[in-house]
Amino acid sequence: MKSQVQPKLIIHGGAGSSLHGKGGLEAVRRSLHAIVEEVYTLLLSGVDASVAVVRGCQLLEDDPRFNAGTGSVLQSDGQIRMSASLMDSASGHFSGVINVSRVKNPINLAHFLQSSPDRVLSDYGAAELARELQLPIYNGLTDLRLQEWIQERQDNFKHTMAGVVADTEMLETSNAGRGTIGVVVLDTYGKLAVGTSTGGKGFERIGRVSDSAMPAGNYATSYAAVSCTGIGEDIIDECLAAKIVVRVTDGMSLQEAMKKSFAEAHDHKRDFGAIALDATGAIAWGKTSQVILAAFHDGDKIGDTLELPEGTEVGCIV
């Protein structure tokens, strides 16, 4: 039997340009830290990496502050369409759902599909799966997201995406961020898993597909695991999560892989962030955006990335 290791955990609630003052920052910090604490307690009890990831994603999806599950943004036609995926290093399986509606936790569908011969389902297939599983119909619309959409409709959708965090202070500047949630875990058995979930950009063309249900935005091997957030098209163009993981798998340290990948992204003028763990327990994050809303447990304490010095693009705790 493999000896136990110190579990590690990092989560994110999106990336963007600003938290618009201390009130927003402290509210996001409380939300993220509470979720880290709950999931880390699960890890200490010995749960499997995928189980911990799913629980973390559920908690983030259920928090209306973040753009996933409850509190998801609306597409241009006023409908919520969500995407989510899960990857487990032990099985090597990637699974996900694309543009699913009327379910509370899209990550649950991705989790079920881990053991399915058809592991990625789009809108109609995902809806049929939800019916098969007898999941209750759920409306994740919040008043703030509805107000945001109404305001944008009145302005003829001049913004190309919605706000990363749902907050009354942010309705005046709804282009302030890119919203996705993600969880990366190293469990006590040394297994890695990663999950990512999103409501999309907001105001996008009907049928647009997010990176969150692709290996570009969510990927893991037994060497490393990465969840991305930001402008999905930029993440897809860089194939960011898979690129970082492959570099670690091929022998780079996690810190080196993050630095190289984000240097390339900076040169290409990309707008995104990523969180990562490797099999040694190294924790890393990177961003080309102003902020990445991430929090982590390094085995001793909880920390976060909400107030990084300006210009910091990559951080790593080894």
CATH number at residue 164: 3.60.20.30
* Predicted local confidence at residue 166, as pLDDT: 53
Among 12, 318, 26, which residue's Cα sits nearest to residue 169?
26
For the stretch 31-58, pLDDT in tens is 999 999 999 999 999 999 999 999 999 9
Q: Say how many domains are in the chain.
A: 1
Whether 159 has a pLDDT exceeding 90, the answer reads: no
Is residue 71 a part of any domain in this protein?
yes
- What's the one-letter identity of residue 24? G
Catalytic residue among 180, 229, 288, 305: 180
Active site residue 180: yes
Does residue 176 register a pLDDT over 50?
Answer: no
Q: Which residue has the higher pLDDT, 119 or 24?
A: 119
Rounded CA-CA distance 253/223 in Å is 10
Q: Please check whether residue 3 lies inside any domain of the structure.
A: no
User: What pLDDT sits at residue 312?
Assistant: 84
pLDDT band at 170 (very low <50, low <70, confident <90, very high): very low
Could you tell me which residue, 269 or 311, shows the higher pLDDT? 269
The answer to whether residue 118 is domain-embedded is: yes
pLDDT above 70: residue 164: no
Model confidence at 173, pLDDT cuts 50, 70, 90, reads: very low
Supply the pLDDT for residue 71.
Answer: 95
Answer yes or no: is pLDDT of 168 > 80. Answer: no
- 2 inside domain: no
* Encoded amino acid at 304, one letter: D
The three-class DSSP label of residue 214 is coil
Question: Which domain, by its residues, includes 199?
Answer: 8-317
Helical H segments across 155-314, by residue range: 232-238, 240-249, 254-267
The pTM (predicted TM-score) of the whole model is 0.93
Tens digit of pLDDT for each residue in 111-123? 999 999 999 999 9
